[in-house]
Amino acid sequence: MADSVVAFLLEHLSQLLQHEANLLCGVQDRIISLRNELEIINAYLKTSSRGNRNNNKEIEQKVLSQIRDVAHVAEDVIDTFIANIAMYKKRNMLGRMLHSVDHAKLLHDVAEKIDKIKTTLNEIHENRIKYYQESSDQSSSAREEEERIQSLHRLRRNVEEENVVGFVHESEVVINRLIVDDSSSPRLKVVSIIGMGGLGKTTLARKIYNSEEVKNHFDCRAWVYVSNECRSRELLLGLLQNLMPNHINNDCRSSSSNIKKKGKKKHKEGVNNSQDISSLSNDELKKKVWECFKWKKYLLVLDDLWKIQDWDEVKDAFPDGNRGSRILITSRLKEVASHTGRDPPYCLQFLTEEHSWELFSKKVFRGEKYPCDLESLGKQIVKSCGGLPLSILVLAGLLANKEKSHREWSKLLGHVNWYLTRDETQVKDIVLKLSFNDLPSRLKPCFLYLGIFPEDYEICVRQLLQLWVAEGFIQETGNRDPNDVAEDYLYELIDRSLIQVAQVKDSGGVKTCRIHDLLRDLCILESKEDKIFQICTDSNILIPTKPRRLSVHSTMSHYVSSSTNDHSCVRSLFCSDPNCFVYSDEWKWLTKGFKLVRVLDLDGKYCFKIPSNLGNFVHLRYLRIDSHYIRSVPDSICSLQNLQTLYLGPSIRVTTISFPCGITKLKHIRHLYTCGPIKLRGDCSESNGDAMWNLQTISSIVLDKRTTYLIEKGSFPKLRKLCLQISSNFKGDVPKMLISLQHLRHLNKLEIYFQVKDWPHSRWEINCKAEEVLQSLKHLRHLSILKIRNALDLFTCVAMFPPNITKLTLSCISCLNDDGINAIGNLTKLQILILTGDNWFLDFWPSDSLFDINCIEDGFPQLKEFQMGNLPVRNWKLANGSMSRLQILVIHHCDKFDSLPSELWSLTTLRKVCVRKPSDAMAAMLQNLEVKNGCELIVE
């Protein structure tokens, strides 16, 4: 998108003028002038992106394209200049003197290039005025464009309504929402169906609308198609045309003679005035609609509602006569559905493979018997559509008029994606492109970016949000954290059915997501036009390109040895090969050819060493190397002043990874994820005064004197999430060091990982008692999530917890007594409790180590979810009022545990009980149990 490119460039220029003013002698005025020019252009782009319609769409698109290209050129000039400045600053005084001529030449070249860029921008502006004026009187093109849009809408409706397959369960659910509980809920109610374009919302609504059950239930039915281009007046006129007498006689019936008389009177008035409705004001139109519905129990369908504003402008035209009337809305947008009614919307899913094949064969063979040898091939074709009805119909339409032979269908199977995007009138423009075009400009680059990931890839939401921020897609944040704004963008795209939720976190947020294959195809297609990114596979390595973002979907070694492309302009590089080997040759290739890169994302789990010249990537904002083998990070990382996110594999091992103490110089870094705990090297006193003001996450760090020193000196003032590893042979004062955590005023989540010795008979070897460790944590009032790994017998004492804990996880417990349970039960805000042992330990526990869980009276007042697993629990007792709000219970592999407390089943809030690998006695007990209050019981 042109506006995101210009906005990011403006940020670059502002930083350059702010931080490098002393090195801009001779070009500072030109850079300020370029920035001013770009600010005006940016304002123009924002105005044009808000949907200003004119008769010169092709000219506007060309202007935007030219501005984007010039912005890319300017970006290259500025980024190269910044990289050269960074190299100049690294030299000592003598080196700077020796290269002073080169620096002067650099400034001269930049000045010339900026002048040339400004000249080009002026030419674009002049040409736009010239040709815009010449074409302003060509109103015929506007009429043609309007007719084309209307044609597309008609065709889309025809395609969606043409075939009704499946939707048996779906229609039953929605019909049930429409017609049940009339007596208990006679007020007007809105029911909504949501889903991405092409899923069949209109088809389902039409099936419901025409069902005998619905026809017999309502006195009057009316259907109006809204669309994205519709306005309230057009909607009301369309509705009145639907309600005129010739329609009323077919669709309406009176349930009593009294209603019939009043209805006839109103109908007659409608006939008399039907010719004049086009001249009525909006308020008069609303009144006429209101009169048509006034005495009836009606069903109104508003099909394809896009905007909240459209609903707000017409909703008072629909009377609530306390007769059980209903309004059925279909929409792509969850926010629209949620705004129109109180009940949650019905989310339409993709077709099953069975229903997909049924729809396909019905369209292709038109009820005739089909050849058996085509079924297998046809099902492969249908599978490529991913359950999207519209694409199935388009493919079926292509094959319906072709020879029904194995040879002909085999050719299609080999080019399915090409066929799906071949006819823009049917697929790209009608459904997918309409959904894309309706996106606000701020969401478009975020959506298109999803095409970078491989097909059917499950995308980690945390990484996706950080990538959006690093790419500069999150511009206007005010005082809000950019990651929070990015999360809002994600949920907007989910609500628009453009992103699918794959996994959900325990907290309820989205953990992973994915994008439908057809939408991914659209992302790739649009990205080619807007030069956002390029996908490289084995089949197109030799095709010459000069992309801004490159996603390599082949092995890195193969790409490095085969590609001859110029990578000097690449800002983001992705390599999705999980078995990628990153050796010294690959690093040389990267550091030489990708000097301007901002995002470097390598699935290089076989990367063993990071090169010492990593600091040459001066623009780097996001670095991810998914490796388990990195042991040290070079000092040059301290030169990456723009770095925001560093990800060096998941925290799965205890082997430390060495970092320089100078990392505190990284002012913009937000997140540090490492495969092992960070161990700082060097003299931390040299970083005195350096605060990492933006740092929010440290996935794992060794608790030692260096770490404690930095915490006490305020080096991590806004840290939210922290994991501390405490070595089993550490001789320092652990409680005193933990008390230093009070300096972290924003700390929300803390994980403490105690290393153990003499496994499996594990023990700590630190110079303190368990209660001293817990005592040092009680003052962390901002903490809401606490996890302690290798807790062992930590909770056999009277424990003191941070008072505002909402989630507590204790793992590898070896013993738990009443004192520990009572301390946990007294946490007044605790909502989630997870207690686990180690399944390896089960075989080593002696019979006398079994323990009971005795929950005190009125304990655990806010607990909603309780999980325990791999524990030698013998009995569990619930005192009166304990766990009164429990909703979810999960018990896993507690094979000494034979019975659940009887008080559990009297909890009215309980919704789900899951028991995995129960003992024989527990399994027998659960088999004969009668669960009440709608609680779901799962035994696995």
DSSP state of 305: -
Question: Per-residue confidence at 762, pLDDT binned at 50, 70, 90?
Answer: low
pLDDT tens track for 334-385: 889 989 988 889 998 888 888 888 888 887 887 677 777 788 888 887 887 7
Could you give the CA distance from residue 522 to residue 502 in angstroms, rounded to a whole number?
Answer: 20
Helix (H) or strand (E) holding 859: none
Residue 248 has pLDDT above 60, yes or no: no
| Other CB atoms within 10 Å distance of the CB of residue 925 | 15
Burial class (CB within 10 angstroms; exposed 0-12, middle 13-18, buried 19+) of 73? middle
Burial class (CB within 10 angstroms; exposed 0-12, middle 13-18, buried 19+) of 557? middle
Q: Which amino acid is at 831?
A: Q
Pairing of strands 510-514, 459-460: antiparallel
**Backbone Cα Rg of the chain:** 33
Could you give the CA distance from residue 24 to residue 574 in angstroms, rounded to a whole number?
Answer: 33
Q: What is the mean pLDDT of residues 447-464?
A: 90
pLDDT at 256: 31
Question: Per-residue confidence at 2, pLDDT binned at 50, 70, 90?
Answer: low
pLDDT tens track for 84-115: 777 777 776 776 666 666 767 777 787 888 77
**What are the tokens at 798?**
């009277």
pLDDT tens track for 509-522: 899 998 877 788 88
Q: Are the beta carbons of 693 and 664 closer than 8 angstroms?
A: no
Could you give the CA distance from residue 392 to residue 60 in angstroms, rounded to a whole number?
Answer: 34
Helices vs. strands in the chain: H and E counts, helices first: 32, 29
Question: Per-residue confidence at 844, pLDDT binned at 50, 70, 90?
Answer: low
Q: Are the beta carbons of 852 and 875 closer than 8 angstroms?
A: yes
Question: Per-residue confidence at 159, pLDDT binned at 50, 70, 90?
Answer: very low
Q: Which pTM was predicted?
A: 0.73
pLDDT at 247: 38
More confident position, 473 or 121:
473
Q: Is the dihedral of CA 755, 759, 763, 766 positive or negative?
A: negative
Residue 586 has pLDDT above 70, yes or no: yes
pLDDT at 3: 62
More confident position, 152 or 454:
454
CA angle 591, 593, 599 (to 5 degrees): 70
Q: Which of 157-171, 272-286, 477-491, 603-617 has the lowest mean pLDDT?
A: 157-171
Helix (H) or strand (E) holding 574: strand 572-575
- With residues binned 3-state (H G I as helix, E B as strand, rest as coil), the percentages for the chain, rounded to 5, are 45, 15, 40
Residue 698 has pLDDT above 50, yes or no: yes
Residue 261 has pLDDT above 60, yes or no: no
Q: Which amino acid is at 99?
A: H
pLDDT tens track for 46-78: 666 544 444 456 666 777 777 777 777 877 888
Q: Which of 12-21, 776-785, 928-937 has the lowest mean pLDDT?
A: 12-21
Q: What is the mean pLDDT of residues 575-597?
A: 83
- The upper half-sphere exposure of residue 401, i.e. CA atoms within 13 Å in the direction of its Cβ, equals 4
Q: Is the dihedral of CA 761, 767, 770, 774 positive or negative?
A: negative
Cis peptide before 760 (omega within 30 of 0): yes
Q: What is the mean pLDDT of residues 652-667?
A: 88
Question: Per-residue confidence at 257, pLDDT binned at 50, 70, 90?
Answer: very low
Q: Are the beta carbons of 729 and 765 closer than 8 angstroms?
A: yes
pLDDT tens track for 799-831: 678 889 999 999 888 778 888 888 899 999 999
The three-state secondary structure class of 311 is: helix
Pairing of strands 936-939, 912-916: parallel
Question: Per-residue confidence at 160, pLDDT binned at 50, 70, 90?
Answer: very low
Q: What is the mean pLDDT of residues 232-240?
A: 82
Cβ contacts of 62 within 8 Å, gap of 6 or more: none
Q: Which of 404-408, 732-736, 781-785, 888-892 has the lowest mean pLDDT?
A: 404-408
